[in-house]
């Protein structure tokens, strides 16, 4: 019956979404659709790049790990971001532009506050921008107001512009969590948590009204590590000392207008039209606006990073070689079972799906090494072990596995990484969190409040152990604690073996504690600091491949994803920028909804970071 309902509902959902798609296509219009398809499918349909063009990197461009992270549902509903790039595509595009004679400059266009790349991915991009700068092509950056994270990239520019009425944010990092224990209590929703690890703070927001001492301690250490890395890089780019930027953060927070120039945070105070005039001089178009211009944003010869990436050849994937390095993406919360890969499917790491993919890679004789790109806060303990088993089988087959950590590779994300032959992370990567937790909600008081009651029969005392109609008994909690302890000890085993660390040392740095990539490297949890390309190079070295290899990325896009990716560069989001309050409430709602949707471990055991931690 369960399978019948599952497939019936799937069929019904597919029918509904078909009609939504039909309505979308009608709204777009047959002529417009045909134009998009012809433009993208025709041979040679890639965008042309004019001579003496400026490469424009809009810093709000969403930079994701996987090149196939296309959500068809968002395209159909018109909520897809206007531009989205995989990290490797973005990095390769910037590096290619450095030697492309058609590209004369790089323009970093700020968006006021939005930044589409996480901190670790920003570090990969920053290295690419630095390499572009080494070619002596000018790098220009402009924003009305520079947010701190945007400024981290913009600080590399030869000329940083600021609007006369703008400011540079320099007030440090801040992390906060929404605590909901009292609200849940008032609603009549009971929460019980079984955990191991003094610092394992996942679900703490549901059981407390304030931050625990351990959570405060580890978050402060994490922020301090990341902040110092950002300070050092930014200060070096601006020929300043980190202490100068720290003083600004402590006493000013925001540096306005001319003061930002005086304090050497920016080079020029100018309006956008003046910046565009400077860009037109670089392209050789002169200072005058082109006839018929409606918007100065488009009045200089340019190509966006998203469109330029379409014409860039990936030398690693296109080279001729029989040997392969498989780059497998594991992005999102870890869930048990299969990935539907259908409409509205959020980015998740489905245990069985990823394991199947790794199995295929292991059985492919052409694959000589594997790079596992992990960007995950963790999730299902069962699914994480399913994935790790396949990683170990790849290694047993004589193929080295290198893990490249993205913005987050913690808890279950660290579990699937622990036994790799090498782990490469950025200083700002959030990792560690070696601990286990189990969450149980009950609705008994809520039922009492609204006049709802549960009743039933059972054949054994523990038959209703997973019931949400009542709190767990002391006996039941003891059973779950035993299971949690068992998983935790297994976690320590894998770290001890995989990282070749003494057991007592692993036990001391575990306890569910979160570490930055920088601290993890010092502690032995991470081998090297660097980005994705460094991990790929490491894999080639470990497999003794020399230059005789090519890169193959997994998962390969489905036909649906290939189809919808055609629209991505031609659609814009229908949702405009929300006000601060709406944005915050939406984020809180989505965080909790995403958490609930991914808690599907069959035993209710999780290795996961706090889902509501926000660093700003």
pLDDT tens column, 69-111: 555 555 555 555 556 799 999 999 999 999 999 999 999 999 8
Cβ pair 445, 522 in contact under 8 A: no
Is-catalytic flag, 74?
no
In a domain, 228, yes or no: no
**pLDDT beyond 80 at 126:** yes
3 state DSSP class of 53 = strand
**pLDDT beyond 70 at 515:** yes
Predicted confidence band at 607 (pLDDT cuts at 50, 70, 90)? low
Q: Phi then psi for 43, rounded to 5 degrees?
A: -65, 135
| Count of alpha carbons within 13 angstroms of residue 231, beta-carbon side | 19
pLDDT digits (tens, 9 = 90+) for 547-560: 999 999 998 766 55
Q: What percent of the chain shows pLDDT beyond 70?
A: 77
In a domain, 381, yes or no: no
Q: Phi then psi for 529, rounded to 5 degrees?
A: -100, 130
**Catalytic residue of the set 137, 200, 368, 538:** 200
User: What is the reported pTM?
Assistant: 0.83
**pLDDT beyond 50 at 58:** yes
Cβ pair 133, 153 in contact under 8 A: no
Average pLDDT, the chain: 83
**pLDDT beyond 90 at 250:** yes
Cα dihedral 513, 514, 517, 518, rounded to 10, equals -60
CA distance 435 to 510: 7
Q: What is the CATH number of the domain that holds 123?
A: 3.90.226.10
In sequence order, which residues have a C-beta less than 8 Å from that of residue 202 and are 6 or more positions away? 195, 411, 435, 437, 439, 512, 606, 608, 609, 610, 611
In a domain, 610, yes or no: no
In a domain, 450, yes or no: no
Q: Would you state the pLDDT for residue 573?
A: 39
Mean pLDDT of all residues in 12-20: 46
What are the structure tokens assigned to 150, written together?
């945007």
**Catalytic residue of the set 60, 411, 417, 433:** 411
Is-catalytic flag, 411?
yes
Q: Domain total for the chain? A: 1
Among 66, 613, 62, residue whose Cα is nearest residue 339? 66
In a domain, 179, yes or no: no
Mean pLDDT of all residues in 498-520: 94
In a domain, 584, yes or no: no
In a domain, 28, yes or no: no
In a domain, 609, yes or no: no
Domain that holds residue 123: 47-171+252-321+559-577
Mean pLDDT of all residues in 579-586: 46
**pLDDT beyond 70 at 200:** yes
CA distance 405 to 172: 24
pLDDT digits (tens, 9 = 90+) for 456-492: 999 999 999 989 999 999 999 999 999 999 999 999 9
User: Which DSSP symbol is given to 146?
Assistant: B
CA 177 to chain centre: 19
600 or 468, which is more confident?
A: 468
293 or 398, which is more confident?
A: 398
567 or 213, which is more confident?
A: 213
């Amino acid at each position: 019956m369960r399978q019948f309902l599952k497939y019936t509902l799937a069929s019904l959902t597919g029918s509904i979404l078909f009609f939504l798609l039909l309505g979308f296509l009608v709204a777009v219009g047959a002529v417009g659709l045909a134009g998009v398809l012809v433009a993208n499918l025709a041979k040679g349909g890639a965008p042309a790049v004019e001579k003496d063009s400026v490469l424009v990197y809009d810093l709000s461009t969403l930079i994701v790990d996987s090149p196939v992270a296309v959500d068809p549902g968002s395209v159909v509903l018109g909520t897809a971001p206007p531009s989205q790039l995989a990290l490797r595509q973005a990095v390769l595009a910037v590096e290619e532009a450095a030697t492309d004679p058609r590209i004369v400059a790089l323009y970093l266009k700020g968006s006021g506050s939005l930044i589409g790349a996480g901190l670790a991915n920003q570090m990969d991009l920053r290295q690419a921008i630095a390499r572009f700068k080494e070619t002596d092509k000018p790098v220009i950056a402009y924003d009305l107001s520079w947010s701190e994270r945007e400024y981290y990239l913009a600080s590399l520019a030869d000329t940083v512009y600021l609007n006369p009425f703008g400011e540079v944010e320099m007030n440090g990092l801040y992390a906060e969590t929404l605590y909901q224990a009292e609200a849940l209590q008032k609603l009549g929703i009971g929460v019980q948590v079984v955990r191991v690890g003094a610092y394992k703070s996942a679900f703490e927001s549901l059981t407390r009204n304030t931050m625990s001492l351990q959570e405060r301690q580890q978050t402060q250490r994490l922020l301090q590590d990341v902040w110092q890395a950002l300070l050092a890089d930014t200060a070096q780019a601006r020929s300043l000392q980190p202490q100068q930027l720290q003083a600004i953060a402590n006493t000013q927070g925001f540096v306005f207008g001319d003061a930002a120039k005086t304090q050497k945070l920016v080079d020029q105070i100018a309006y956008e039209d003046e910046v565009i005039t400077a860009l037109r001089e670089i392209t050789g178009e002169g200072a005058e606006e082109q006839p018929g211009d409606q918007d100065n944003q488009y009045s200089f010869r340019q190509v966006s990073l998203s469109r330029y990436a379409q014409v860039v050849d990936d030398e690693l994937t296109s080279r001729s070689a029989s040997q392969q390095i498989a780059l497998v993406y594991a992005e999102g919360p870890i869930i048990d079972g299969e990935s539907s890969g259908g409409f509205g499917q959020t980015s998740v790491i489905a245990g069985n799906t990823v394991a199947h993919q790794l199995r295929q890679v292991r059985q492919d004789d052409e694959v000589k090494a594997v790079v596992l790109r992990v960007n995950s806060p963790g999730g299902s303990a069962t699914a994480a072990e399913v994935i790790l088993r396949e990683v170990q089988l790849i290694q047993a087959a004589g193929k080295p596995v290198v893990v490249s950590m993205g913005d987050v590779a913690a808890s279950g994300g660290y579990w699937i990484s622990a036994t790799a032959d090498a782990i490469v992370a950025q200083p700002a990567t959030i990792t560690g969190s070696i601990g286990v937790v189990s969450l149980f909600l009950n609705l008994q008081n809520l039922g009492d409040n609204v006049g709802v009651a549960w009743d039933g029969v059972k054949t054994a005392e523990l038959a209703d152990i997973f019931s949400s109609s009542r709190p767990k008994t002391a006996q039941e909690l003891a059973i779950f604690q035993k299971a949690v302890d068992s998983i935790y000890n297994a976690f320590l085993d894998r770290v001890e073996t995989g990282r070749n660390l003494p057991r007592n040392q692993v036990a001391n740095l575990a306890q569910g504690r979160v570490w930055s990539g920088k601290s993890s490297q010092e502690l032995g949890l991470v081998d090297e600091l660097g980005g994705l390309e460094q991990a790929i190079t490491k894999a080639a070295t470990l497999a003794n491949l020399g230059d005789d290899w090519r890169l193959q990325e997994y998962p390969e896009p489905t036909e649906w994803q290939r189809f919808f990716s055609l629209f991505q560069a031609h659609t814009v989001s229908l949702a405009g920028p929300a006000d601060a309050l709406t944005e915050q409430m939406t984020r809180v709602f989505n965080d909790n909804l995403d958490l609930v949707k991914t808690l599907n471990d069959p035993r209710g055991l999780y290795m996961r970071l706090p889902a509501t931690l926000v660093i700003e």
